[in-house]
Amino acid sequence: MEPVRAVLIDIDGVLTVSWQPLPGTVEALREIRDAGLPVALVTNTTSRTRASIAGTLAGAGFPVDAGDILTAPAATAAHLAGRLPGARCLLLNHGDIAEDLAGVRVVADPDGDVDVVLVGGAGPEFGYAALNRAFGHLQRGARLVAMHRNLYWRTDHGLELDSGAFLAGLEAAAGTEAEVTGKPSPAFFAAALDRVGARPAESLMVGDDIESDVLAAQHAGITGVLVRTGKYLPETERAASGEPDHVVDSFAELPALLGLRGGAR
């Protein structure tokens, strides 16, 4: 492996499941940080703000703060500010992420004028009435912007459906294609690399989603590492559109992969 100068890490399914640390992950992240490697936690989580995520992780012992975290909602706010400033957005999302959507104009009346249907993470809000209302706005010319297109994620109750499943239906029904602002968007990875001050060729991405985390990073020139935790399924790996650069059983093995144990980097 070429020397690695920065590490990008997914959170859910890699470091934690239902916000509880997976075995060895706290210690592994501490070892990576102690080695002086810049780290960015890059997540498609759309139910919590960066500050909330950082507080939970730090409380569990992870050496992180809000500045280490890039969320899909924060990337979405930057995307809309740059490309659709002032757009009236219908937000379809589970959780309070208003702090990370600073500057985004979210409409109070879902039946009023809408320029953008903005899809976050799935939850009880993704009922028929809400999806049909979004479909109506898309038919009337609203653009479709999605924070991610994950089909499912893992909780302590098992795999649960995510908004990507509904997004595919909206795209097919409305004859449109969503602009994706989180992973696997190349712009999302570029923003993460800017945060750690590293080039793609000297960076590594660790994730449990082979397509959105690992192969998307590899398409951006970043070394990809797939972990067999979280949403990982053997059949998903076999059916993937490519092969990861590396596969490890868990994030706890990353220091060894980086040469931090038993040898120099």
> What is the reported pLDDT for 1?
63
Q: What is the pLDDT of residues 78-106, one digit of tens each?
A: 999 999 999 999 999 999 999 999 999 99
Q: Model confidence at 264, in pLDDT bands (50, 70, 90)? A: very low
Q: What percent of the chain has pLDDT over 90?
A: 94
Q: What is the mean pLDDT of the chain?
A: 95
Q: Model confidence at 157, in pLDDT bands (50, 70, 90)? A: confident
Q: What is the pLDDT of residues 218-256, one digit of tens each?
A: 999 999 999 999 999 999 999 999 999 999 999 999 999
Q: What is the pTM of this model?
A: 0.86
Q: Model confidence at 154, in pLDDT bands (50, 70, 90)? A: confident
What is the DSSP track for the chain?
A: -PPP-EEEE--BTTTEETTEEPTTHHHHHHHHHHTT--EEEEE---SS-HHHHHHHHHHTT----GGGEEEHHHHHHHHHHHHSTT-EEEEE-SS--GGGGTT-EE-S-TTS--SEEEE---STT-SHHHHHHHHHHHHTT-EEEES----EEEETTEEEE-HHHHHHHHHHHHT--PEE-STT-HHHHHHHHHHHT--GGGEEEEES-IIIIIIHHHHTT-EEEEESSTT--HHHHHTSSS--SEEES-GGGHHHHTT-SSS--
pLDDT exceeds cutoff 90 at 261? no
pLDDT exceeds cutoff 70 at 25? yes
> What is the reported pLDDT for 265?
40
